[in-house]
Amino acid sequence: MSEDLALANGQTRMEVAYGAGDGDDDAQAVVAQRASLGVVFEQVYRPWNGTLGPRWVRNYAIFRHHVYGLFSSKGHRYYNPFVRLTILVILLSSLTPIAMIFLSSTLPGDASDWLTRMWGINRYNLWGQVLGYYPRNLCMWPLLTALVVGGMISDDRKNGTSAIYFSRPVTRTDYTIMKFLSAAFVLTFVIVFSYVLYYSTSIVFRGEGWAFLIDTLPMFLGGLIAGLLLVFTYTSIGMALSSISQSRFFAAVAFLAIIFGTKLTALLVELVFQTSIIYILSPYDALAHIGQWLVGIPPNYEHSLAFSIVSVLVYNAASIAVLVNRVSSLEVTRE
């Protein structure tokens, strides 16, 4: 009864570590010795009173984290070896015309002329190097974008790493811009760099003079603008999809679904109703239409160029609006 009453009053009984008789009179409890069994440390948190690095250093750290991860995982974003291998294969595949141009420069006569017509510099090849439906915009560029932007922001939402960014003096604007630039840089390196390399090496291998360079420079600049527009549009769509999910798989698959789904839908509508106006829903076709105008080749679409320009502007504006809105909802603590 006394024990129950003590428990009811919030008291407990402590059992001793040794008995109360039968030879236990001389028993002693062993007390841990500080010197022999361990040391108690005192941890004190002190505020940082030093000088912070400039703004560009903090932003460059975000950029470096994502871009350098393609080459080294130590201290940077981890890319699966399969992803790295796929990006390398895409880059090498986009450089295959250079190998054909080099081969044509080593062959004599009709064989060299035939390869030059097939792979040399002309309006259609410059356009196809960036916006050709097969294999680049069917196999290469959408897959490349999906692999790069898939986990840019979705990983931060899933793992709570936004707390690491915003616990430092990093604004949401800087966070958004540097994430966007990180993804766009990888796409630019593969798409635009391969385009510029194709143009320059073709002139070198064929031994063309200044007259050829002046004649083809407007076409080259038109294709370059089309390539940059392609990079910006694909990056904005991919980043918007990455910002609304917590799974890199969802963002990647959703991006591929938008590119291929709108293209296939517009193609079926054209086959049935003999109209190309639905192609304005396809980001690829809108970009291809603009690219054809920039390079100066006859368009494959019956609708006005203005519709394609408006389509690209709407896609980019809507994607950036979604991206900014979702980034503004990121908390300093893990979601």
Q: Which residue spans within the chain are E strands per DSSP?
A: none
Q: Is the pLDDT of residue 89 over 80?
A: yes
pTM: 0.82
**51 pLDDT higher than 80:** no
Beta carbons within 8 Å of 310's beta carbon, 6+ residues apart: 280
What pLDDT band is residue 132 in, cutting at 50, 70 and 90? confident
In the predicted model, what is the mean pLDDT of residues 12-25? 48
Residue 1 or residue 284, greater confidence = 284
Q: Which two tokens stand for residue 276?
A: 């190309």
The pLDDT-based confidence of 258 (bands split at 50, 70, 90) is very high
Answer for the pair 65, 76: CB distance below 8 angstroms, yes or no.
Answer: yes
**Residue 287 pLDDT greater than 80, yes or no:** yes
The pLDDT of residue 5 is: 47
Task: Give the model's pLDDT for residue 76.
Answer: 83
Task: Give the residue extent of every domain in the chain.
Answer: 51-328
Going by C-alpha positions, the residue among 171, 131, 178, 129 that lies closest to residue 153 is 178
What is the pLDDT at residue 106? 86
| Cα-to-chain-centroid distance, residue 155 | 12
| Cα dihedral across residues 201, 202, 208, 211: positive or negative | negative
Is residue 63 predicted with pLDDT exceeding 60?
yes
Give dist(CA 99, CA 37) in Å, integer: 70
Place of tokens 């090498």: 92
Cα separation, 137 vs 70, in Å, equals: 22
Give residue 130's pLDDT: 93
Mean pLDDT, range 286-309, rounded to an integer: 95
Q: Mean pLDDT across the stretch 212-240? A: 95
φ/ψ (deg, to 5) at 4: -65, -40
Summarize the confidence of residues 41-49 as an average pLDDT: 68
**The pLDDT of residue 159 is above 50:** yes
Distance CA 210, CA 224 (A): 20
Q: How far is CA 27 from CA 13, 18, 24, in A?
A: 21, 7, 5
- C-alpha 161/C-alpha 65 separation (Å) is 13
pLDDT band at 324; cut points 50, 70, 90: very high
Instruction: Return d(Cα 14, Cα 126) in angstroms, integer.
Output: 87
Q: How far apart are the C-alpha atoms of 234 and 315, rounded to whole Å?
A: 10
With 0-12 / 13-18 / 19 or more C-beta atoms within 10 angstroms meaning exposed / middle / buried, residue 144 is buried
The larger pLDDT score, comparing residue 135 to residue 301, is at 301
Q: How confident is the model at residue 14 (pLDDT cuts 50, 70, 90)?
A: very low
Give the amino acid at 73: S
CA–CA separation, 148 and 90 (whole Å): 13
Sign of CA pseudo-dihedral 236, 241, 245, 250: negative
